[in-house]
Amino acid sequence: MAYWLVDYENVKVSGLDGLTSLTDKDTVCIFYSENSDSMTFGLHKRLMMSRAEVQYQKVEVGTKNALDFQLSTYLGWLIKGNGNGSDNYYVVTKDQGFSVLSKYWARYNVNVQIVINCSGTNRQDEHTTLRQKAEQVLHNAEDVDIVVRLIENYKTKQGINNALVKHYKDGRRVKEIYTAIKPLIADKKGRD
């Protein structure tokens, strides 16, 4: 049995990628708050098609990391209730702060993995994929290193563009690189 605890405030819809491939032995618990309490019709359709049991946990807000604390508490409650340690637990988030949960529970032989979606992709997998895609559109290894770092560190297209301008200080070069990486940042906030 597997439990998928989704930090919806953090991952949004992309965190539920892989949802339809889960089985009836899986449970997905979506943690959301008033800051992230809407979904698309496409997501609703995927939720309905999933064979996994889907639960919703609306969390209280008002303090920093409120959702994180409540998700972590729920994880401990689940583990305690299951007792045998044979189940798998996944925290679906891009928040690196959750990595301490994996380390903590490993001491008790409980498998807790931090992943970025319900297909089990972790941050290293995401980094490797991004790097491979960047290598396909950029042919200079130094440019690849810089672009991958910027895409991973900035949430918006504008932030990435500004960082490219700051680094390269050459408008023509920035435009060339930005044009090449547009497909890699299509999911970032902002417009082209």
**140 lies in the same domain as 99:** no
**77 lies in the same domain as 24:** yes
Pick the last residue of a domain from 115, 145, 177.
115
- The answer to whether position 191 is within a domain reads no
Pick the last residue of a domain from 86, 115, 144.
115
Residue-averaged pLDDT of the chain: 91
pLDDT exceeds cutoff 70 at 158: yes
**Residue 174 structural domain:** 123-185
**93 lies in the same domain as 27:** yes
What percentage of the chain carries pLDDT values higher than 90? 67
- The answer to whether position 87 is within a domain reads yes
pLDDT at 84: 63
SS (H, E, C) the chain: CEEEEEEHHHHHHHHHCCHHHCCCCEEEEEEECCCCCCCCHHHHHHHHHCCCEEEEEECCCCCCCHHHHHHHHHHHHHHHHHCCCCCEEEEECCCHHHHHHHHHHHCCCCEEEEECCCCCCCHHHHHHHHHHHHHHHCCCHHHHHHHHHHHHHCCEHHHHHHHHHHHHCCHHHHHHHHHHHHHHHCCCECCC
**52 lies in the same domain as 73:** yes
**139 lies in the same domain as 99:** no
pLDDT at 38: 81
**90 lies in the same domain as 15:** yes
| Model pLDDT for residues 59-79, shown as the tens digit of each residue | 998 898 999 999 999 999 999
- The answer to whether position 192 is within a domain reads no
pLDDT at 155: 82
